[in-house]
Amino acid sequence: MLGILMGGLLATTDVTAMSIMKQISLQSFSKVWMVIVTLIYAVQPWIFLKGMSYSGMTVMNLSWDIMSDILVTSVGLFYFREQLTKTKLLAVGFALMAAFLFVYSENK
């Protein structure tokens, strides 16, 4: 379970970094903010390494990827008001199902 939580922490760093980059692309933030994004991404391997003390590489990577996809997509849709086609929304639904199955299988 701690591996999944560490994956969630990594996903949170993705959301933060990508949100800052979106703001830069909208010219709401200056490019100086890329220093913060770079530092965030520099810390991720250390978080991943620590997470592997609790879980395997596969569980860490999958939990990070799935949660990052869901969280970044949610921020894009609800905060930045981006649009997705029906097919892409279906893909998001499958990602949610994958996350549920992933957590469910960890608890058994």
Domain spans, the chain: 2-106
Q: 37 and 17 in contact (C-beta within 8 Å)?
A: yes
Whether residue 107 is predicted with pLDDT greater than 70 in this model: the reply is: no
DSSP state, 82? -
pLDDT of residue 12: 96
The arithmetic mean of pLDDT across residues 42-67, rounded, is 90
User: What are the tens digits of pLDDT across the range 74-103?
Assistant: 999 999 999 999 999 999 899 888 878 877
pLDDT reported for residue 96: 86
Cα distance between the two ends of the chain? 11
